[in-house]
Structure formats: C-alpha cells, structure tokens
Structure 1
Amino acid sequence: MPCPAIPVRPPGVYRPRLHRVLLVGLAMLLSGATALAQTRVEWVATTATASWVKQPRLGAATGPADAIVNLAQPLQTIDGFGACFNELGWTSLSGLAPVDREKIMRELFAPGVGANFTICRMPVGANDFSRDWYSYDETPGDFALKDFSVAQDEQTLIPFIENARRYNPALTLWASPWSPPTWMKLNHHYAAAEVKPEYRQMMPTLADNGLKPEQAGKEGANLFIQEDKYFAAYALYFTKFIEAYQQRGIPIGMVMPQNEFNSAQVFPSCPWTATGLARFVGYLGPQMQQRNVEVFFGTMERPNQALVDTVLRDARSSPFIKGVGFQWAGKGAIAGIHQRYPNLKLYQSEQECGDGKNDWKYCEYAWTLMKHYLSNGANAYLYWNISLQKGGVSRWGWSQNSLVTVDQAAKTYQYNYEYYLLKHVSHYVQPGARRLATSGVFTNLLAFENPNKSVVVVAHNDSSQDRTVRLTVGQQTVAPVLKAHSFNTLLLK
C-alpha cells in the first residue's frame, strides 16, 4: 500500500498554533527562571558547636514538598520579641568594660543588627532577680502615697532601659509587680512562702527570707487586703509608677496586675484569686485608660482557662482587659483561650528559666516552648533574664539561664545557646508580621510573612542525622540540608 502523500509547507508559510505553543512554553520557562533569580534566600544555621553560621546559596529543588508554607493563610499578628529588664541584669553588665557592655546592648536592641528586640518587660518594684526586696512606698498606711519614690530604680532599671532605648527609641515596654508594698498584704511580708527544709534539699543555695509559717499565703486565696481603700491606693501606686517613668522619658504601654497570681513563693510574690484581681482591675482600669496604658490579665501560670474566663466575664474588669499573659504551666491554657477569644491579644510573658547551666539540651527544650506558644496564637514572645553573672544565682538563691553570661572576675562575656535560638526568630521577624499556616510531613518549623512581604521560615532538625527538607513557599521550592540538631532560619525575599 503506497504511503499517503506528506503535505509540503510552501515557502513563507508557518504553523501558527505550534509557533504560539513554543513561544508560550519558552516564556513560561524564562519567567520561572526570572522568578527564581529574583527570590533571594538567606540561610543561617546554629548547632551546639557553631552558632549563627551563614549557609550556601540555595537553588531550585524538585520533587514532592516535605513542608508547604501557605501564603494565602495568614494567622496572628506578631507584636515582637524581647526579654525582661531585671536589676541583676544591669549589675552583671556593669561589671564589664563600657565598650563591651555597649556591644551587647547594640547587639540586643539596635534595629536590624542582632536580636532586634522590640518589646520588653520590667518589674514594678522588686522581683526575684532584684538586688534585694524593695517597693516604691513602704510607709504603713500611706494611702495617699506621699512617700512614693522610684529612687531605687534610678540605680539600675532606669539606666538599663535608657541604654536600650538609645539603640531603639521605639522599644515597647510593659510592667507587672511581683509583690505590692508589704503593708497592703495580709502577712505584711514581701514573700508568700517560708523556706522549708525540703526546699533546701532541692536547692542548697536558697536564702532564708524570714517568713514565719503563719504568714504563708496559698493558691486560691487573696493575700492582698480586699478592701476598697487598699484597692484605690494600689491603683494609685500603678499610676504614680507610670507617671514617674513618663517624667524620665520612658513610656510604659501596658501593665499586668500581678506576676504568677496563683503562686506563693519564697521571693517577692502575692497570691490572688481571679475574682480578687477582677475587683482590683475595676480600680486599676480607669486610671490606666486615662493614661493610654493597656491592662492585660496575668501573668497566668496555671493551665486553668476558667481563671481567664472569670476576669473576662466580670463586669468590673472586662471593659479594661485587652489581652492575657501566659507563662510556665499557663502554656496549657493558651490554645483554648485563643480558640474561644480569637481577637484577644496573647503574650508569652516569661520563658521558663532553666537551671543556670545554659546547655544545648535546654535550648532545644526552649524551642518546643517557642513553637508551642507561637503555634497557639501568641502575639509576642518574651525571654526572662537578659544577662546574669556566671552561675546565674538570684538574690534568693535560684540559679537560672540568661541570654548573656558575664564573668566579672575575668571581665569577659558570652552569648548563650538560647540567645541564638531567640535571634533565629527575632532578627528576621518584624513587628506586624503574620504567622503563616504550614502543612506537610515535616512539622518542626514556624513560618511568618513580614510587612515587606519577605517570608521567614525557622526550622529545627532534632534528629541525630542530617536531613534534607524540601520546602515550598508560594511557587518556589528549595531543599536545604539541615544539620543534625540544628536551628535554621531561611529568609526568602
């Protein structure tokens, strides 16, 4: 059978459909290459032996994604990251040469340099990392607070904060007391628990506080005197604190009425019931509102959501509560509160403090805390101690971790593992960023989109082997090899 005739294209005649297909395909390939070229990926990694190491440039990857960042599903807005200004933080840094102290402060607070801290906490009066107990008015019965003074803070907290604000004048501050003045408490003592023998067995360095057994407070009971004149005086105490700092050029944007209000501690502390705090907020709220200072409920250190419900539903306090702070076991309540009050601001107000060893194991645990809080709606994440002397021992004998350890004898310092972990997030995630939803088989990560549309992905490889993770962000896929037990940040511009 003869072959059919093959049509011959006359000179000058072309096949328009085929030509268009080829042009479109070529354009798609070129546009994809252009998009990849325009997407710059910055990648840094930290392991136990090498911190903040810049990694090689990543090229495009193929194959199914292990993790997908969903740009179309933005979640909560991030207010920022930071830590707490404590007296022992300043005294430790003051033991260094001024040039070294300034290097640390610049690294922590200067925008775009290091940790890029934008929001920090401070105590109202003494806390457990103060030099000793003090309040702003220890004159019994001084309901008009004629003897109110922040003179103690002029030696430590005020210069600490002023130094930080020189590097970042826009630094946001919030504050909470650990204890009211002693004359406002039923036990007339700064602490709420005696130092029992079993405590000393666990912590031999624990200092005696002089509290007698009959003075001890307890969870579920108010140690603050529940009388109107005391509530009014304590609201005035907050007001004078806000005004005293304002006069020194330091604005306080938010307060929480009590640190860990369920906990009777051997250091400055004061248990309250949620109802007692709701009653006090009824006095505190109007005073703060007049001064454009927000009131959050907290800090919540129990996994009991009903405590938050009590204050949010009480007519005396509900008009004034703009958010809630969670720490320690309070991590068990944040998910439920976020689900039921999706528009409520939520802060992780104090990262768990460790044991003063500042080791890699605790750093990896700290990542699980950070991931838990931010995955469950936290708008801000606060570390605890900025700086401590070697050993990290408080005035009351508790050794804790810090971002920076100072050896005052040798006049040297070092950044600890948890500093670099926090920097992996805070250096790149800008205030106003949105956390992004993720999916896939690799889940040990957090993702954010900054206001400038850059995307930040922070990933932890907690295994003992290097692992390749194919990561898809929008139309781009990259495949970084995450070193064993490493933290990694990828910035896609």
Structure 2
Amino acid sequence: MTTWIATTPDAKLVDRSAEVAATGATAAADLQLDGNEYQALRGFGGCFNELGWLPLQTVTEAERDQIIKELFDPEEMNFTFNRAPVAANDFADHWYSYDEVEGDYDMEHFSVGRDEETLIPYIHRAQEWQPDMRLFSSPWSPPTWMKRPKAYNYGRLIQTPENLKAYAKYLVKYIQAYAEHGITVNQLHVQNEVFADQKFPSALWDAEALKVFIRDYLGPAFDEAGLDTDIWLGTLNGPEDMKWTGGGYGMALNNYNRFVDNILFDDGARHYIKGIAYQWAGQNCIARTHESWPEIELIQSESECGDGQNTWEYAEYVFHLINHYFRNGATAYTYWNMILDDQDSTWGWWQNSLFTITADTHEVRRNPEYYVMRHFSKYVRPGAVLLGTTGHFNSMAIAFRNPDGTVVVVAQNALENEMPFEFADPADASRGLKVTLAPRSFNTFVLD
C-alpha cells in the first residue's frame, strides 16, 4: 500500500493515494534506491523563542492547544529535537542574561527567573506531547560585563582565566537550573553563530579561543559538576575563521574546514566534542567536514529565516536546504521561529515562521514552510535512515527507511508544469510507482 500526500499553493495536504499507479518496476530514471543506507536521524524540531511564546498568549485556549498539538504531537509534526537559547537571543522580547552583576565570578546572583515566565512554560507545553523530547541549547551572548565592548550585541568574551572559568560555571548553572524545572538539556552548543558580529546578541569566537575554552574550562567544569550534557561545536554559521580585513570583519572562504580542523586535531578538545552543528553559510562546508570527520555527528541547527513575507518560493528553498543537509550527513533539521506575530522584530528584521498570529485580530495562519516541514517531520520518524538514491529527481527528492520498515519518499516539483514521476526499489518491485506531480508541489509517499 502507498500513501501519497500532496501540497500546492492552492491545495494543502491532499490525500492523492488513489491516483498512485503501481508499475512493478525495479528501475526508474526519476528516482530509485541504490542499496546504500546512511546516517540515522534524530528528527526534526524548532527553537523556543520569546517572540513565539508571547503571541501564543493572545489566542484562545483552544487555538493555543491546537498549535502546540500540531507542532509536537507524535501523530502531527512530531517535533522531537528542539532548541532553546541560553538567555536572550535575537528573538527575545528584550535582551538579558542570567547574571548582570559585574564581577560576580562565583555566579552568586545567577537566576533564570525571566525564563520562568516565557521559555520554561513554552518548553513545558511541548513536553506535554513529547515527554522524552531532546533539547539543545546555545548562548547568543555572555553577560555583558564579561565582554568587550560591554554590550549584548557585537564583541567578544574577554579571554582571561577568571572570565573563562566564570563563564563555564554560568553554563553549568544554566543546565542545572533547567533540570530543576524538569527540563533536560541534552546538548550544549558553545556559541550561536561563532562568526556573527551582529547588532543583536552575539559574540565572536576564533578557533583557538573556542578550543581553549572547551578543553581547559567548559569540559572540566562539566566533569566536575557530573553533567551528562554533551558539548557540541556549534553553531557554525560559516566555514572559516573571521579575518581582519582592514575595514571590519570579513569571512575568508579559502579553506572550508580550517575552523573545525584547528579544534578537532587537538586531542584535549576533541575528547569533549560530541558533534558539530551547522547553519546558514555552514551549508557550504558541511560536506567537507563530513568527509574529513565521518565519525562525528552533524546536525543542521537553524533553518534560514527569510524576510517575514512567508512566500511559497522561500518554502521551496527550505525544501532544498533540508535535502542538502541530510544528503551531507546531518542527523537533524531544526526550524527557527515556530511562531511569530506579524510585527517587526526587536532589532528591525522580521522573519518567516511556521505559524503567524496576527497582532491586530489574533488570526492564526499556517505559512508555506509549515507544510514543507510537515511533509518531512510527520512521516520521517526518529531513527529513520537516509537511503541512497539515483535519478534525475535527486535534487528534488530524498528517501528514508523508518524503524518500522516503511519507506518514505519526499519529492518536490519546483517547475511551473506538471511532471511525471516514477520511483523504484530494485529490492522490492511492489514499491514501483508512477504519478503526475502538480506544479510547484511538495509530495510525501509512504510505502509499506
């Protein structure tokens, strides 16, 4: 039996299973399995942001429950692998850290009190559907008194031993504080976008500084505290160290793997690093990292955010990103803003989201990227393995085998005209099929 779910700009999540024609073929020019199996997937998810939680409070209880259900219910979008910021990120309501008392190296004034009003209840709502949810966290900025300049945006952590030791303690206390609220932080990614010197909360890290911090401070602090949270090298938003160009920081692109190599070839740092997370321009180097360090797990940590227009064209681009990251070794794909309203951000760049809740009428809208993510996350289950494929649709389709043995094919027709599509499994002629894909469509096939 084959299930076919199709989405176009005009018709969403239509069951077209009755239109599937069985071919009995074991070869297909469009897409066929090649017998290879690759990485197992952790799953899909999104990021818990304050500017998602706040508009969620403006809708009715029934609407709020429905949104949470669609995102996290195992029978819906099944977001099992999610992200949270350590204090303020660029989609916080305003910027903050957990300890702004200058010189508090012992973290006596550390508090997640603000998160208790926003991020923690947001995560608790997800846990109602996903009690075993996996969570990774990353800071956007250290406390301002640890940085030069003393600001959430721009700058770097001042690399003194007392600062580095205190910052490691700060991150340990974050994990412990969340555990006290029933939230397990499974992975700590040391810095969001290590190459981002931005007008929102950010901090630059070069490879040498990050290596020393992980090897000599953060890893030992985790050991001393008895934490089983994994340390990840992430999130990397580019392939290379930031280089001074004379007019500002510019990204050198001449060696795509040097940043991670500078860290991973150090045995002391490598001992603590369990994986690497890429996003944004990191898509340009994930393949080289996977070739050089195949034993290290990779994930995609943040879907590119768009401009708030939530167009079908951008959803098609997100499909490409998902295909690209999985075909280059990623075990998870994480969306960015699950929910937003339709107003400007706190720093002037509005972005796409799965759900929009309008600020004036509180209308709930499901945006095009909602359907792209759903076409994957509802049907490709945690533990599914990527299947090797060949064919002319390789850039527009991808296949997985779920733990229950079903094969899932997710295919896009990015063209303006209908396209015939044939799929074959050389090992099982009963899976051969032929359909006609609608223009500009997303399609999921589940084959028993």
TM-score past 0.5 threshold: yes
* 1:442 positional shift: 2.5
Question: Are 2:65 and 1:106 aligned?
Answer: no
Question: Are 2:165 and 1:232 aligned?
Answer: yes
Q: TM-score, normalised by structure 1?
A: 0.84
Q: Note the alpha carbon deviations across 1:410-459, whole angstroms, 9 max, x for none.
A: 12201110011011111011111100000123322010001111100000
Q: Is the 1:97–1:411 contact (alpha carbons within 8 Å) kept by the matching residues of 2? A: no
Question: Are 2:404 and 1:478 aligned?
Answer: no
Provide the secondary structure at the position in 1 that maps to 2:64. helix
Aligned to 1:274: 207
Alignment of 1:31-50 (within 5 A): 40-50=1-11
The one-letter amino acid of 2:267's match is A
Name which of structure 1's ranges 59-68 and 364-373 shifts more when overlaid on structure 2.
Answer: 59-68
Match of 1:246 among 173, 176, 179: 179
Provide the secondary structure at the position in 2 that maps to 1:92. helix
* 1:62 positional shift: 5.7
Q: Is the 1:288–1:294 contact (alpha carbons within 8 Å) kept by the matching residues of 2? A: no
Match of 2:135 among 154, 165, 173: 173
Aligned equivalents of 1:313, 1:232: Cα separation in 2: 23
Aligned to 2:366: 415
Q: Note the alpha carbon deviations across 1:306-357, whole angstroms, 9 max, x for none.
A: 1011111123311001110101111001001111111211110001100000
Question: Are 2:353 and 1:402 aligned?
Answer: yes
Aligned equivalents of 1:315, 1:153: Cα separation in 2: 36
Aligned equivalents of 1:115, 1:469: Cα separation in 2: 26
Provide the secondary structure at the position in 1 that maps to 2:193. coil
Provide the secondary structure at the position in 2 that maps to 1:469. strand
* 1:61 positional shift: 1.6
Aligned to 1:186: 148
Match of 2:39 among 51, 70, 76: 76
Question: Are 2:115 and 1:153 aligned?
Answer: yes
Q: Is the 1:69–1:447 contact (alpha carbons within 8 Å) kept by the matching residues of 2? A: no
The one-letter amino acid of 1:92's match is P
Rg larger in structure? 1
* 1:65 positional shift: 1.2
Alignment coverage as a number of residue pairs: 423
Q: Is the 1:69–1:436 contact (alpha carbons within 8 Å) kept by the matching residues of 2? A: no
Provide the secondary structure at the position in 2 that maps to 1:436. strand
* 1:395 positional shift: 1.1
Q: TM-score, normalised by structure 2?
A: 0.92
The one-letter amino acid of 2:373's match is L
Q: Is the 2:32–2:391 contact (alpha carbons within 8 Å) kept by the matching residues of 1? A: no
Aligned equivalents of 1:491, 1:380: Cα separation in 2: 20
The higher-RCO structure (CA 8 Å, 6+ apart) is: 2
Q: Is the 2:409–2:444 contact (alpha carbons within 8 Å) kept by the matching residues of 1? A: yes
Match of 1:426 among 373, 377, 383: 377
Aligned to 1:116: 78
* 1:71 positional shift: 6.8
Q: Note the alpha carbon deviations across 1:26-56, whole angstroms, 9 max, x for none.
A: xxxxxxxxxxxxxx11110111111111113
Aligned equivalents of 1:185, 1:262: Cα separation in 2: 16
Q: Note the alpha carbon deviations across 1:277-316, whole angstroms, 9 max, x for none.
A: 1111121123335211001101111133110111111233
Aligned to 2:237: 301
Aligned to 1:32: none
Match of 1:378 among 330, 350, 353: 330
* 1:491 positional shift: 0.3
Q: Note the alpha carbon deviations across 1:150-191, whole angstroms, 9 max, x for none.
A: 000011000000001011101110100000000111211111
Aligned to 1:387: 339
Q: Note the alpha carbon deviations across 1:259-290, whole angstroms, 9 max, x for none.
A: 11111000101111111011111211233352
* 1:68 positional shift: 4.1
Let me know the Cα RMSD of the aligned residues.
Answer: 1.3
Q: Note the alpha carbon deviations across 1:360-385, whole angstroms, 9 max, x for none.
A: 01111111111111111110000100
Aligned equivalents of 2:402, 2:153: Cα separation in 1: 43
* Structure 2 unaligned spans of 5+: 240-255
Provide the secondary structure at the position in 1 that maps to 2:3. strand
Provide the secondary structure at the position in 1 that maps to 2:148. coil
Provide closer, same or farther for how the CA distance between residues 461 and 245 of structure 1 changes in structure 2, counting only shifts above 3 A: same
Provide the secondary structure at the position in 2 that maps to 1:366. helix
Aligned equivalents of 1:143, 1:367: Cα separation in 2: 45
Question: Are 2:290 and 1:354 aligned?
Answer: no
Aligned to 2:253: none
Aligned equivalents of 2:384, 2:295: Cα separation in 1: 16
Provide the secondary structure at the position in 2 that maps to 1:379. strand
Which runs of 4 or more aligned residues in structure 1 lie more than 6 Å from their structure 2 counterparts after TM superposition? none
- Larger % of strand: which? 2
Aligned equivalents of 1:394, 1:129: Cα separation in 2: 7
Provide the secondary structure at the position in 2 that maps to 1:127. coil
Aligned equivalents of 2:14, 2:269: Cα separation in 1: 48
The one-letter amino acid of 2:104's match is D
Tell me the percent identity: 43
Q: Is the 2:89–2:201 contact (alpha carbons within 8 Å) kept by the matching residues of 1? A: yes
* Structure 1 unaligned spans of 5+: 1-39, 193-216, 218-222
The one-letter amino acid of 1:177's match is P
